[in-house]
Structure 1
Amino acid sequence: MRIAVAYDCLFPFTTGGGERQYRQFAESMAAAGHEVDYLTTRQWEGDAPSAPFTVVAITPALSLYDDAGVRRPAVAAQFAAALGTYLARHRRSYDAVLVSALPVLNVFATRAALAGTRVVQVFDYLEVWPREQWIAYSGRAVGLVAWALQRGAVALTPTATCHSELSARRLRAEGLRRPPLVSPGLISGRDRVDVVPEAATPPYLVYVGRHIQDKRVDTLPAALAWARRELPGLRAVILGEGPERAAVEAAVEAAGVADAVDLPGFVSEEALRDAIGGAAVLVNPSRREGYGLVVVEAAAFGTPVVLADDPGNASVELVTEDVNGFVAPSTDPAELGAAILRAVRGGPALRARTRAWYDDALVSRSIERTAATILAHIQDAVDSQRQR
């Protein structure tokens, strides 16, 4: 088959979970013997990068996020328009397309471009937001429009894939007509590393990610201060950057832990691995996660996690209490701090259980299994179309 995978970013030129996911989908499909085009924005100089699939830049470089870390609606529309134009020009070139439904304008563009064709269309939903979340993210006027567009896109989706039960429930609530394909997981064997049986001394917690409001990074210093009342040597390494960086620095000062917190910003891949592997616990207080790849990346080293429970946080589905980490009821300093203490005190035994969870997940929750499941659906649908 000839298949197009469409997403506006490409790993490693941008390095989020979605970028890794769609690249590995494309690689898995190509490895299965199919001809795969990856439709994206230009993020490189010169010729298209070498890959097991064909990289097709359908737009020039785009600035996807504003200074507050919010996706720019105009840029989302620009990519969707380019995607629709490209697919309309090549409407009989593909047997199937796998398109990211983030942003949802991609769904409208694809459906319009391929109307009247037999091209199998699968839309992958990294996240699905209720109305209130759209309003909180984009403001009332823009948020209501975005939510209405999401409902329209869901209604137009012939086949939806998602990667958490949270997203599956929300798709059904937003009007999806057919049951979604819920993936077994997005864990890659490429993430496999040597387990680190003991955390570094003195112990430290690590945070990895952007500093934006939804990640609630500024709640970490107070939780650290609470935990240090019982473990005075506990430190924190807060990696990443973002528009909330100043708020994080202010929270560090307010909590009185400036001498116990490192804020190195973004670091090299090697330094990142060292930071995660040596940490006693990885803490992610985010209120919003569509999957939670950082849970998996930490578990590869044997590093347990602490998450904060929230209705929009699908990553809690990946945590088995006292096996690979803990879920705090909230970001209240006492509740988050207590969960951090439990993880640190779990020591080598908890790290061994965390790595065992990861080894099992490599088999039962792999991204390769997910890609194979999607590919099998596409193959069945294409075969059905050809028989008509």
Structure 2
Amino acid sequence: MRIAIAYDCLFPWSKGGGERQYRRFAEEFAAAGHDVTYLTRRFWPEAEPPIIDGIRIVAVNADQELYDVNGTRRPGPALRYARGLFTHLLRHRTAYDAVLVSALPTTNVLATRAALAGSNVIIAADWLEVWEPAQWREYAGPVTGRIATALQHLAARLSPIATCHSQLSANRLKTAGLRTAPLISPGLIDVADTPPPNFTAPPRAIYIGRHIPDKRVETLPAAIAAARTHLPALTATIYGDGPTKALVQAEINRLGLTAVIDLPGFVSQPELDAAIRNAACVVNPSAREGYGLVVVEACAAATPVVLVAGNGNASTELIEEGINGQIAASTTPETLGNAIAEVISAGTLLRKSTYAWFTEASQTKTLTATAQAILALLAE
């Protein structure tokens, strides 16, 4: 098949779970013998276009910044990408047999349906996340949040084929008006990138990700302080960057933890892999996750994970408490700190059961299996 993947970011020129997922889908589709085009935006120097073996990269628009100073996706770039996607697909209505379009943002789905209306092109909408109306209003404000909710419902109803990556998203798609049963992916484990396991590690907790309000990174310093009442030798490293990083630094300063918690920003992938492998636990206090790639990446290195329960946090579906980590009931210092201390105190036994969980999951819950399931769905 001639397949187009439509997403406005491309790994590693842009970093994130969605970027890595769609890049790997493109690679898997190409490896299976299909002709693959990646429709994205140009956010690299024009004289240095990205090159990926076996994949044609087409920029349908150019925008440098997707997010505002608060880490919220700006509507302008989303609309301009949707317009560029619409224009490209309208001009190339016979160039593709199928389009896998990311429903983040949902305007991508609407643009694709409009451009290919009446054609024989198969359209599949891939939903990284599906939000409730209250989440949209909190994220984007009362007016834009209501508009986003309405667009999400419309995109769900206009998704002839839908794929998602958690039961949470599948349930919300049904509520939003999806007319068919979605394909829930078996998993997104990428076994090709798994580091060797490490069954011993010093008492060190790490966080990996962007610093934006939904991730609640600023709650970590107080939780680390609380955990240190049980584990005085505990240290932490908080990786990543974003608009709430200043709040994180302020909390570290307020609690007198500058010698305990490092804040290095973004680092290279090899350094990040080593950090995961040598951490006693990965902790993520995020309020929302569409899948939780960091969970399986940590488990691949035998590093257990601490998450926080929440209505929008699908990553908790990956945790079996006492097997590969813990789910804290809240981000209060005592609750989250106790979960961190409990996981680290479990030591080698928990690390071995974490790796056993990954070994079993990696037989079936893989990104390759998901890509193959999507291809089978398109072919059918």
The alignment's TM-score, normalised by the length of structure 2, stands at 0.97
In the alignment, the residues of structure 2 paired with residue 161 and residue 91 of structure 1 have an alpha-carbon distance, to the nearest angstrom, of 23
Q: Does 1:142 align with 2:144?
A: yes
Deviation of 1:47 (Å): 3.7
Q: Distance in 2 between matches of 1:259 and 1:27?
A: 43
Q: CA deviation at 1:145?
A: 0.8
- Decide whether the 8 Å contact of 1:191 with 1:300 is kept in 2: no
Displacement of 1:252 in angstroms is: 1.6
**1:327 alignment counterpart:** 327
8 Å CA contact retained: 2:282, 2:306? yes
Gaps of 5+ in 2: none
Q: Corresponding residue for 1:383?
A: none
Deviation at 1:320, TM superposition (A): 0.7
What SS does the aligned partner of 2:289 have?
coil
Q: Give the deviation of 1:61 after TM superposition.
A: 4.0
Q: Which residue of 2 aligns with 1:260?
A: 260
Distance 2:222 2:357 in 1: 30
| Aligned-residue offset at 1:51 | 2.3
- The structural deviation recorded for 1:124 is 0.3
Correspondence 1:119-268 to 2 at 5 A: 119-200=121-202, 203-268=203-268
Compare 49-58 and 25-34 and name the one that shifted more. 49-58
Q: Does 1:112 align with 2:95?
A: no
Distance in 2, Cα, partners of 1:73 & 1:51: 32
Shift of 1:258: 2.6
Q: Deviations along 1:268-325, whole A, 9 cap, x unmatched?
A: 2222122111111100000010000000111111110000000000000000111111
Aligned to 1:4: 4
User: Matches of residues 236-385 of structure 1 in structure 2 within 5 Å?
Assistant: 236-380=236-380
1:259 deviates by 2.3
Please give the secondary structure, in 2, of the residue aligned with 1:259. Answer: coil
On the 8 A contact 1:80/1:105 being kept in 2, the answer is yes
The amino acid that maps onto 2:283 is V
Q: CA 1:207/1:47 → structure 2, altered by over 3 Å: closer, same or farther?
A: closer
Question: Residue by residue, what CA displacement relative to the aligned partner does 1:86-119 show, whole Å, maximum 9, x if unpaired?
Answer: 0000011111110001110011110110001111
Structure 2 Cα separation of the partners of residues 173 and 62 of structure 1: 34
In the TM superposition, what whole-angstrom CA distance separates every residue of 1:38-96 from its partner, at most 9, and x where no partner exists? 11112333344132211111112431111111111011000000000000000111111
Q: Is the 8 A contact 1:48 1:56 kept in 2?
A: no
Tell me, yes or no, if the aligned pair for 1:42 and 1:59 is still in contact at 8 Å: yes
Equivalent position SS for 2:66: coil
Q: Which deviates the most, 176-185 or 188-197?
A: 188-197
Residue 75 of structure 1 corresponds to which residue in structure 2?
A: 77
1:87–1:110 CA contact under 8 A, matched in 2: yes
2: CA distance, partners of 1:220 / 1:108: 39
Give CA-to-partner distance per residue, 1:97-151, whole Å, 9 cap, x none: 1000111001111011000111110000000011100000011011111111111
TM-score of the aligned structures, taking structure 1 as reference length: 0.95
Distance 1:274 1:28 in 2: 26
Moved more, 189-198 or 288-297: 189-198
Are the aligned partners of 1:39 and 1:58 in contact in 2 as well (CA < 8 Å)? yes
| 3-state SS in 1 of match to 2:233 | coil
Q: Distance in 2 between matches of 1:265 and 1:94?
A: 40
User: 1:386 — aligned with what?
Assistant: none
Amino acid in structure 2 at the alignment position of 1:268:
S
Question: What residue number does 1:27 align with?
Answer: 27
Aligned length: 378
Amino acid at match of 1:149: L
1:256 Cα deviation from its structure 2 partner: 3.3
Q: Give the ranges of 4+ consecutive aligned residues of structure 1 lying more than 3 Å apart after TM superposition.
A: none
Q: Which amino acid aligns with 1:336?
A: L
Q: How does 1:56-67 map to 2 (within 5 A)?
A: 56-67=58-69
Q: Is the 8 A contact 2:164 2:170 kept in 1?
A: yes
1:14 Cα deviation (Å)? 1.0
Q: Is the 8 A contact 1:216 1:285 kept in 2?
A: yes
Structure 2 counterpart SS, 1:36: strand
Q: Is the 8 A contact 2:215 2:285 kept in 1?
A: yes
Q: Which has the larger displacement, 203-212 or 269-278? A: 269-278
Distance 1:42 1:267 in 2: 23
One-letter amino acid of the structure 1 residue matched with residue 254 of structure 2: A
Letter in 2 for 1:7: Y
| Paired amino acid for 2:211 | H
CA distance in 1, matches of 2:49, 2:13: 14
Q: Runs of 5+ in structure 1 lacking a partner? A: 381-388
**Residue 319 of structure 1 contacts residue 326 of structure 1 at CA under 8 Å; is this kept in 2?**
yes
SS in 2 for 1:116: coil
How far apart in 2 are the matches of 1:62 and 1:89?
Answer: 25
- SS class of match (2:149): helix
